[in-house]
A and B are shown apart, each in its own frame.
Chain A
Amino acid sequence: MTEASVALGTMRSAERGGWPRLAAAGRTMFPFAVVGGIWEATAHAGVFPGKLFPPLETIAATFVRLTLSGILPHHAIATLLRLAAGFAIAAILGVGIGLAMGRSRRVEDYLLPLISILAPIPGLAYTPLFLLWFGPGNPTAVLLVGFVSSFAVIYNTWTGVKAVKEIWLRSAQAMGASDMHVFRHVILPGALPYILTGLRLGLAQAWRILVAVEMLASVPWGLGWMIFGAQQFLATDVMLAGVFVIAVIGLALEKLVFKRLEDFTVVRWGMMAR
């Protein structure tokens, strides 16, 4: 009997714990169900040609087929590698230039005008130019992504270094810290929330631009290229499966990569609240 009541008790508490979570999941899923239902109804009503407006089950089937045959993963990996390469350029260049500009008045004076002229031009406008200079393919795509996304990193790093409180620097110096020490233990951690914001913005920008660059730069593999190629064959299901993968990767980059990095550094140091 005691066993039974204990079992009942745990069941109750499990229920109690499970219900709100289930309800929350239901609430999150509900809008998708509504939109999915509308999509299905439109697709099956035949208002638009089925080729141009495929029902969800066709898109899902295409997604599974492309994933199993390895085509979709191949495209996705090519895109991610390109993103990583371009973003690495932007991160190294951007943080380097930003730190130099924040620390040295001279560097700031010389570089800021150039950057303020180049930054507001949409990166995509340079695409055809880069295509002519570097030819179609990977170098153009990677360089362009790196170039475009470095501005956000430069700006934020620069602001971050300038935002480090003067009094922290002076107190560290008064306590006998060397320049190297001040840089590593005061300036870098102090500027890090800004630098991370810059990297985050830069990555988001790199991601947005990369898809377009892949469409324009005729790279051999890549999600943007896949979508663009599928258009020639009216393969709307392939295009939508591609858009789905792009959305998932975009969300994952934002939620997994940077949330983690932030938790691990600035949140842990207590510089930023969750």
Chain B
Amino acid sequence: MNISPDRARSLRRAAVSLIAAAVLYQVVAWSGYFPAVLFPGIPVIARTLWRMSVNGTMLLHAAFTLYRVLVGFVMAVLLGLPLGTLMARFQPVERFFMPLVSALMPIPSFSLVPLFMLWFGIGNLTTILIVFYAATFPILFNTWSGVRAVNPLWLRAAGVMGANERALFWKVIIPGASPLIITGLRQAFLRSWIAVIGAEMLAASQWGLGWVIFDAEQFLQTNIMMASIVMIGVIGFLFERLVFGSIEHATVVRWGMVRQARQ
């Protein structure tokens, strides 16, 4: 309890800095130094966000983006988790896939967007595949290192206590590898969230948060751009905190594998 005044001061300062930033922004917007079209004030942005949420367009954009992210992400999980586990458990699999993975990993997913557009056309398929590409490697790589990092002593102890292969896998290896696997899922989601916005800017039509930003630019609708950026930030933040935070709580924190993170 003795940190309480300290914490209060931190919060006060946080509030001061956020308000100062908002006021600064608003003053620049009012000053007319930039044309109002290019630099809309905060009320304008808020009103746009409200209007687009109420009439449903913003929600539909968000729904399309989420759909693409989730499908691509689930595909990446379905490939990355088993393959990563197999690579860590069986050397021939590792020997075959590791060189390929290390060669493909440094290719930014965006560099494939134009190619995928030619191959798969404009729309959902291209964006989903880009997300899939972006998300697969963090999952694969972290699963691989997680399973490899399982303490061999645990395996032997479980073996001695008579665990069969199946029990060993589900009760020892998977929980043991889960902190790194969850880190991988988290990284993969962050990357796919970035990837989907980029892919939508280049290769989506009509719907999607990335597409609407890019489309609004053509018409100098900076307020719509700002509103969608806010939306993108909020959804990304919610996923990171709520979804992955609670997954972490339900698994590794509860099992005592990692200590609870600050904040």
Q: Which residues of A does B touch, CB under 8 Å? A: 27-32, 34-35, 48, 52-53, 106, 109-114, 117, 120-129, 131-133, 207-209, 211-212, 215-216, 223-224, 227-228, 230-231, 234, 236, 239-240, 242-243, 246-247, 250-251, 253-254
Q: Which of A113, A242, A250, A251 contacts B17 (CB 8 A)?
A: A113
Complex Cα spacing A233 to B182, Å: 42
Complex Cα spacing A117 to B21, Å: 12
Complex Cα spacing A32 to B35, Å: 54
Contact between A120 and B236 (Cβ–Cβ < 8 Å)? yes
Residues of A within 8 A of B96 (CB): 30-31, 34
Given A121-B229, A236-B118, A246-B111; A113-B194 close (CB under 8 Å): no
Contact between A254 and B106 (Cβ–Cβ < 8 Å)? yes
Residues of A within 8 A of B240 (CB): 120
Contact between B214 and A128 (Cβ–Cβ < 8 Å)? yes
Given A32-B99, A122-B232; A52-B111 close (CB under 8 Å): no
Contact between B107 and A228 (Cβ–Cβ < 8 Å)? no
CB distance from A79 to the nearest CB of B (A): 11
Complex Cα spacing A113 to B100, Å: 41
Contact between A250 and B38 (Cβ–Cβ < 8 Å)? no
Complex Cα spacing A125 to B209, Å: 9
Given A133-B38, A251-B106; A124-B194 close (CB under 8 Å): yes
Given A216-B202, A243-B107, A246-B107; A125-B213 close (CB under 8 Å): yes
Contact between A121 and B117 (Cβ–Cβ < 8 Å)? no
Complex Cα spacing A230 to B115, Å: 9
Contact between A132 and B111 (Cβ–Cβ < 8 Å)? no
CB distance from B105 to the nearest CB of A (A): 8
Given A122-B193, A124-B198, A129-B222; A243-B112 close (CB under 8 Å): yes
Q: List 21 A-B contacts (CB under 8 A).
A: A29-B99, A48-B119, A53-B119, A109-B9, A122-B232, A122-B236, A124-B194, A124-B197, A128-B201, A128-B225, A132-B38, A208-B109, A215-B202, A223-B111, A224-B111, A227-B111, A227-B114, A227-B115, A247-B106, A250-B108, A251-B106
CB distance from A133 to the nearest CB of B (A): 7
Complex Cα spacing A131 to B214, Å: 10
Residues of B within 8 A of A30 (CB): 96
Given A32-B103, A129-B229; A211-B108 close (CB under 8 Å): yes
Contact between B103 and A247 (Cβ–Cβ < 8 Å)? yes
Residues of B within 8 A of A122 (CB): 193-194, 197-198, 232, 236
Complex Cα spacing A144 to B55, Å: 32
Q: Which of A34, A113, A120, A216 contacts B233 (CB 8 A)?
A: A120
B13 at interface by CB-CB < 8 Å:
yes
Contact between A35 and B213 (Cβ–Cβ < 8 Å)? no
CB distance from A66 to the nearest CB of B (A): 16
SS class of chain A's interface: helix, strand, loop or mixed? helix
CB distance from A115 to the nearest CB of B (A): 10
Q: Which of B16, B118, B217 contacts A231 (CB 8 A)?
A: B118
Q: In this complex, which of B16, B104, B106, B236 has the most chain A Cβ atoms within 10 angstroms of its Cβ?
A: B106
Q: Which of A27, A114, A128 contacts B18 (CB 8 A)?
A: A114
Given A128-B213, A132-B38, A208-B108; A52-B114 close (CB under 8 Å): no
CB distance from A78 to the nearest CB of B (A): 15
Contact between B13 and A52 (Cβ–Cβ < 8 Å)? no
CB distance from A90 to the nearest CB of B (A): 16
With A122-B194, A133-B38, A228-B202 given, name 12 new contacts (CB 8 A).
A109-B14, A112-B14, A122-B198, A125-B233, A132-B217, A211-B110, A212-B202, A215-B114, A230-B114, A231-B114, A243-B112, A246-B108
Q: In this complex, which of A34, A227, A253 has the most chain B Cβ atoms within 10 angstroms of its Cβ?
A: A227
Q: In this complex, which of B14, B100, B118 has the most chain A Cβ atoms within 10 angstroms of its Cβ?
A: B118
Residues of B within 8 A of A234 (CB): 118
Contact between A31 and B97 (Cβ–Cβ < 8 Å)? yes
- Considering only residues 100-145 of chain B, those with a C-beta below 8 Å from chain A are 100, 102-104, 106-115, 117-119
Contact between B217 and A131 (Cβ–Cβ < 8 Å)? yes
Contact between A126 and B13 (Cβ–Cβ < 8 Å)? no
B216 at interface by CB-CB < 8 Å:
yes
